[in-house]
Amino acid sequence: MTLNPLSRWAARILAVIAIFFILPALFDKIWTRKSEAPLVFFSPVQKAFVYQKSLGGHQFIYADERGREFDRGAFEDLLPFVYFRNYELRNEGPLELEGRIFDRETIRSQRQSFEIKARDLKGSRPQIALYPLFNNDPGIAMIPFPEDVFRFTEKGMEFINADTNRKDEALSKRFTESLKEKGFTFPATLISGNPTNLKPFDEGYFVKDSQGGVFHIRRVMDQPDIRKTGIPADMGILDIAVSENQRREFYGILITERGGLFLIAWDSYELIPLPSDGFDPRRMDVKLLVNPLYRTLILTGEDRVHATVMDTEYQPLKSFTLPFSQTGSGLAGNVKDFLFPFTLSLESPWQNQASLQLQKGSFWSFGGIVLAMILYLIFLRRKGPFYRNVGEFGFLMLTGLFGLLPLLFVRKN
């Protein structure tokens, strides 16, 4: 069968798309050893950053910011607030740091860990716009799951019974009127909360209205408890991550489109800025570690972990950046780039939904492209003026070695 030029090029392009979807994934499965990002902490014992880095196969390196390595036991002793039970087993005396003695209950009540994944933020995950609003009842010890869910419409806040799929008119009216009295302008543009009853208590949702105002919405004894927070409307809020913790120091972390990070202080709703220079909310994860002496903010990207330790007033004291490679072996990564100038994938570590990802190779890709051109000139180029083959030559400049396959098998005849 003879193919006309349009059919020939369409077949080649489809073949390249299939190749750059399938073969890089197969390469990774066989040769690339994925590794997790290092775990970085600030040691209150050594007054320095320490980290745990995976070598694969359940093998780890434990080291400090200067590169000095430790065994696992010594590493855990440098982090007594994290591994306090192990510290108790290995040490007879009480934990004493900076002139203070810390027992188990003090550490437990003053410790908090809060992590935000980029893939869980607004715009990076699919979201069904139905939310449970837990009822705060002092007479009930546990948090029962409600029979209804709520949503925001252009005109109000609606509660829908999950069993009957019918609107609860009375409850919807109470919350809608209360919101209007507080100055809420419908519709809502951001709804952020913690929709699980596996938590010590419930603090409801932070909701942004159409004018940018942020409101704190709770349900107490089936009645609306709504507060206008006073958070500036022009901040460019991307999302708010809520964390209910018995410390009751802050409600959560507010994240702006430009990468700003702010704690929302308990009761006052005052914004406490966190050191976030270089933070990209679309491609970096956030972790905040709190202990009785220090606060540590950890920002994890594709190839580095940046940590900043702060005092209890959130004033920065010291920073540390640790580069890393998620592919583990540099050789495997270089070979992959040599073979594939780019790769296609529907998965991303930064998104919780299918999304087409185009990943470009490194400078090693140019070596593969040059080799592909040489092989083309030797074996595939038809006789005749060069300009007749310029399209195929350009095709190889974009696709490299595996672009030779469509040129070899998809010919005129």
Position of tokens 């369409």?
10
306 in any annotated domain: no
270 with 189, same domain?
yes
Given this model, what pLDDT does residue 335 score?
A: 82
Residue 1 has pLDDT above 60, yes or no: no
**Parent domain of 193:** 113-290
141 with 243, same domain?
yes
157 with 285, same domain?
yes
Higher pLDDT, 95 or 179: 179
Cβ count near 55 (within 10 Å): 11
Residue 133 has pLDDT above 90, yes or no: yes
- The distance from CA 204 to its chain's CA centroid, rounded to whole angstroms, is 23
Residue 61 has pLDDT above 90, yes or no: yes
Given this model, what pLDDT does residue 355 score?
A: 67
Structure tokens that stand for 386 in this block:
């060069």
18 with 67, same domain?
no
Given this model, what pLDDT does residue 212 score?
A: 96
At residue 346's C-alpha, the angle toward residues 340 and 352, to 5°, is: 135
pLDDT digits (tens, 9 = 90+) for 100-127: 999 888 898 999 999 999 988 987 777 8
Residue 286 has pLDDT above 90, yes or no: yes
pLDDT digits (tens, 9 = 90+) for 311-326: 999 999 999 999 987 6
364 in any annotated domain: yes
Give the integer Cα–Cα distance in Å for 295 and 312: 6
Least confidently predicted of 23-27, 77-81, 385-389, 396-400: 385-389
Residue 299 has pLDDT above 80, yes or no: yes
Q: Return the percentage of the chain with pLDDT > 70, whole number.
A: 91
386 in any annotated domain: yes
283 with 344, same domain?
no
For the chain, how many structural domains are there in total? 3
Give the integer Cα–Cα distance in Å for 202 and 137: 10
71 in any annotated domain: yes
Of 63, 85, 109, the one marking the end of a domain is 109
266 with 160, same domain?
yes
**Predicted model pTM:** 0.83
pLDDT digits (tens, 9 = 90+) for 351-398: 666 666 777 777 788 888 888 888 877 766 555 555 566 777 778 878
Q: In 196-350, which ranges are continuous DSSP H helix?
A: 330-339
3-class state of residue 60 by DSSP:
strand
Of 290, 313, 345, the one marking the end of a domain is 290
Position of tokens 């702010």?
262
Structure tokens that stand for 369 in this block:
């492209």
149 with 252, same domain?
yes
Residue 56 has pLDDT above 80, yes or no: no
Of 72, 88, 109, the one marking the end of a domain is 109
218 in any annotated domain: yes
Given this model, what pLDDT does residue 104 score?
A: 85
126 with 233, same domain?
yes
Of 318, 308, 315, the residue nearest 286 (C-alpha): 308
279 with 228, same domain?
yes
Least confidently predicted of 74-78, 176-180, 289-293: 74-78
Neighbouring C-alpha atoms within 13 Å toward the C-beta of 136: 14
246 with 182, same domain?
yes
Given this model, what pLDDT does residue 287 score?
A: 98
Strand pairing category for 214-220 and 135-136: parallel
Higher pLDDT, 339 or 158: 158
3-class state of residue 210 by DSSP:
coil
Given this model, what pLDDT does residue 166 score?
A: 95
303 in any annotated domain: no
Residue 329 has pLDDT above 60, yes or no: no
155 with 253, same domain?
yes
pLDDT band at 258 (very low <50, low <70, confident <90, very high): very high
254 in any annotated domain: yes
Given this model, what pLDDT does residue 3 score?
A: 67
Given this model, what pLDDT does residue 330 score?
A: 66
133 with 260, same domain?
yes
**What are the residues facing 227 on neighbouring strands?**
216
Q: Return the percentage of the chain with pLDDT > 90, whole number.
A: 57
Q: Extract long-range pairs of 256-260: CB within 8 Å, 24+ residues apart.
A: 256/281, 257/281, 260/235
Residue 327 has pLDDT above 70, yes or no: no
164 in any annotated domain: yes
